Amino acid sequence: MRNLLGALIGAAIDRGDGDSGIKGAILGSVAESTIRVMAPIAATWALGWAVQYGVRKAWHAVAGEDPVRDDGRLRTA
């Protein structure tokens, strides 16, 4: 179950070129490792962006103005 994604990617690659399954197995393993590393990074980035977006929209609703100035710096009181 752990290598299922790599096996599916490898099988798709192997079907495309018609050669031996070694190339598909290697590329599937590399793809699975890359996805395993990048998925938590992408999820963390997306969550951080969503929190920042929500805070900025809430500030805009309460204060009536954008909390970020035109030069990219935060407004102060």
Domain locations along the chain: 4-63
Q: How far is CA 40 from CA 1, 44, 53, 67, in A?
A: 19, 6, 20, 29
pLDDT greater than 80 at residue 75: no
CA pair distance 19, 70, nearest whole angstrom: 57
Helix/strand/coil for 47: helix
CA pair distance 39, 20, nearest whole angstrom: 29
Are 6 and 21 in contact, with CB atoms under 8 Å apart? no
pLDDT greater than 70 at residue 20: no
Instruction: Identify the pLDDT of residue 9.
Output: 75
Instruction: Identify the pLDDT of residue 60.
Output: 81
pLDDT, tens only, 32-64: 888 889 999 999 999 999 998 888 888 888 888
Name the band, by pLDDT with cuts 50, 70 and 90, for residue 27: confident
Q: Which comes out higher in pLDDT, residue 57 or 13? A: 57
Pure H helices in 1-77: 4-17, 21-63
